[in-house]
A and B are shown apart, each in its own frame.
Chain A
Amino acid sequence: MNDATIKILPIAKSPNGGPNADSNGVPSATPNSGPNGDTVRRKLTISVLRYNPQEPSVPPHLQRYDLEEAVGMTLFIALNEIREKQDPSLQFDFVCRAGICGSCAMVINGRPTLACRTLTKNLGTEITLAPLPFFELIGDLSVNTGKWMRGMSERLRGWLHMKDPNPDLRRTEEKMDPDLADKIYELDRCIECGCCVAACGTARMRKDFVGAVGLNRVARFRLDPRDARSDQDYYDVIGDDDGVFGCMSLLACHDVCPKELPLATQIAFMRRKMVKMAWEKP
Chain B
Amino acid sequence: MKIVYTDVLVIGGGLAGLRLAIGVKRRGHEAVILSLVPPKRSHSAAAQGGMQASLANVIKGQGDNEDVHFEDTVRGSDWGADQKVVRMFVNTAPKAVRELAAWGVPWSRVRKGDRQVVINGQKVTITERDAAQGLVAQRDFGGTKKWRTCYVSDGTGHAMLQTMSDQAIGAAIPVHERTEAIALIHDAGRCYGAIVRNLITGELVAYVAKATAIASGGAGRVYRVTSNAVICEGIGSALALETGIATLGNMEAVQFHPTTIFPAGILVTEGCRGDGGLLKDVDGHRFMPDYEPEKKELASRDVVSRRMEEHIAKGKGAKNRFGEHLWLDITLLGEKHIKQNLREVYEICNYFLGIDPVKDWIPVRPAQHYTMGGVRTNHTGESPTLKGLFAAGEAACWDMHGFNRLGGNSVAETVVAGMIVSEYIADFCDRIDNEVDIPTPLVHDFLRREQGKLDALLAGHGTEDASAIKARMQEVMTAKVGIFRRGADLQAAVDELQQLLVKSRNIGLHDRSRGANPELVTAYRVQKMLKVALCIAYGALVRTESRGAHFREDFPRRNDAEWLKRTLALWKGEADTLPSLAWEGLDIGAMELPPGWRGYGAKDYIDNPDTPKRAAEVEALKAKLAGAPRFAVQEALMPYESLLPERFRGRNERIDEPIEVAQ
Known A-B contacts A159-B167, A173-B98, A182-B153; A103 and B106 likewise in contact (beta carbons under 8 Å): no
A144–B43 CA distance with the chains assembled, in angstroms: 18
Taking a contact as CB atoms closer than 8 A, the residue among A144, A171, A176 that contacts B653 in the complex is: A171
Residues A153 and B102 in contact, CB atoms below 8 Å apart: no
Distance of B91 from chain A, by nearest CB (Å)? 10
Do A91 and B516 have beta carbons less than 8 Å apart? yes
Are the CB atoms of A96 and B43 closer together than 8 Å?
Answer: yes
**Given A171-B98, A178-B110, A149 contacting B38 (CB threshold 8 A):** yes
By the criterion CB–CB under 8 Å, are B104 and A224 in contact?
Answer: yes
Confirm or deny: B136 has a beta carbon within 8 angstroms of a beta carbon on chain A.
yes
B127 nearest CB across to chain A (Å): 15
Judge if A93 is at the interface, Cβ distance under 8 Å.
yes
Are A170's CB and B653's CB within 8 A? yes
User: Does B104 lie within 8 Å of A160, measured CB to CB?
Assistant: yes
Q: Is the CB of B106 within 8 A of A185?
A: yes
Closest CB in chain A relative to B308 CB, distance in Å: 21
Residues of the A chain whose Cβ atoms lie less than 8 Å from the Cβ of B513: 54-55, 89
* Nearest opposing residue in chain A for B111, CB measure: A178
B374 to chain A, nearest CB (A): 20
Chain A residue contacts of B152, Cβ below 8 A? 185, 188
A3 CB within 8 Å of chain B: no
Closest-CB distance, A208 to chain B (whole angstroms): 18
A175 to B98, CA, bound (A): 11
Q: What is the bound-complex CA distance between A147 and B654, given in angstroms?
A: 42
Residues of B within 8 A of A231 (CB): none
Q: Is the interface of A mostly helix, strand, loop or mixed?
A: loop
Stretch among A15-23, A161-169, A241-249, A271-279 lining the B interface: A161-169
Question: Which of chain A's residues has its CB closest to B99's CB?
Answer: A169
A132 to chain B, nearest CB (A): 14
Chain B, residues 494-533, CB within 8 Å of chain A (1/0): the string is: 0000000000000001110101111100100000000000
Contact between A175 and B108, CB atoms less than 8 A apart: no
Judge whether B534 is part of the interface by a CB distance below 8 angstroms: no
CA distance A178 to B162 in the complex (A): 20
Nearest CB in chain B: distance from A41 CB, A = 13
A8 interface hit (Cβ, 8 Å)? no
Q: Does A237 contact B (CB under 8 A)?
A: no
B648 at interface by CB-CB < 8 Å: yes
* B267 touches A (CB below 8 Å): yes
CB of B229 closer than 8 Å to a CB of A: yes
Chain A residue contacts of B74, Cβ below 8 A: none
Contact indicator A172/B653 (Cβ below 8 Å)? yes
Nearest chain-A residue to B351 (Cβ)? A117
Inter-subunit contact B134/A178 (CB<8 Å): yes
Bound CA–CA A245/B37 (angstroms) = 32
A192 touches B516 (CB 8 A): no
Q: Which of A122-166 contact B (CB under 8 A)?
A: 138-139, 142, 144-147, 149-150, 153-154, 157-162, 164
User: What residues of chain A lie closer than 8 Å to B266, measured between beta carbons?
Assistant: 97-98
Q: Report chain A residues within 8 Å CB of B344.
A: 100
Interface residues on A, range: 35 or more
Neighbouring A residues of B170 by C-beta, 8 Å: 157, 159, 161
Residues of B within 8 A of A188 (CB): 106, 152, 155, 158-159, 162
User: With an 8 A cutoff between CB atoms, is B303 at the interface?
Assistant: no
Q: A88-B509, A145-B38 are in contact. Are A96 and B45 (CB under 8 A)?
A: yes
Contact partners of B652 in chain A: CB under 8 A: 170
In the assembled complex, the CB of A71 is this many whole angstroms from the nearest CB of chain B, namely 6
Given A88-B510, A95-B231, residue A173 in contact with residue B517 (CB < 8 A) = no
Question: A178 vs B111: C-alpha distance in the bound complex, in angstroms?
Answer: 6
Closest A residue to B266 by CB, please name it: A98
Residues of B within 8 A of A117 (CB): 351-352
What 1/0 flags go to B211-239 for Cβ under 8 Å of A? 00000000000000000011100000000
Assess whether A158 is in contact with B650, with CB atoms less than 8 Å apart: no
Q: Is B124 an interface residue (CB 8 A)?
A: no
B109 and A177 contacting across the interface, CB-CB below 8 Å: yes
Chain B residues in 8 Å Cβ range of A184: 106
Which B residues are in CB contact (< 8 Å) with A84?
467, 471
Contact A177 B134 (CB under 8 A): yes
* Residues in chain B near residue A83, CB distance under 8 A: 467, 518
Q: Are A91 and B169 in contact (CB under 8 A)?
A: no
Map CB proximity to B onto A76-111 as digits: 1 under 8 Å, 0 otherwise. Answer: 000000011000111101111111111100000000
* Residue ID in chain B nearest A96 by CB atoms: B229
Please measure, in the bound complex, the distance between the C-alpha atom of A96 and the C-alpha atom of B220, giving whole angstroms: 12
With beta carbons under 8 angstroms apart, the residue of B134, B162, B655, B659 that contacts A176 is: B134
Bound-state CA distance A228–B592 (Å) is 44
Q: Is B661 touching A168 in the complex (CB atoms < 8 A)?
A: yes
Cross-chain contact of A72 among B45, B110, B264 (Cβ < 8 A): B264
Contacts A173-B98, A178-B134, A181-B106 known; list 12 others, CB within 8 Å.
A55-B513, A71-B321, A72-B263, A72-B352, A88-B518, A89-B517, A99-B348, A154-B169, A169-B94, A172-B98, A173-B136, A181-B107
Would you mind naming 9 contact pairs between A and B with Cβ atoms under 8 Å apart? A54-B516, A71-B322, A95-B229, A102-B40, A146-B39, A150-B175, A153-B169, A161-B170, A169-B648
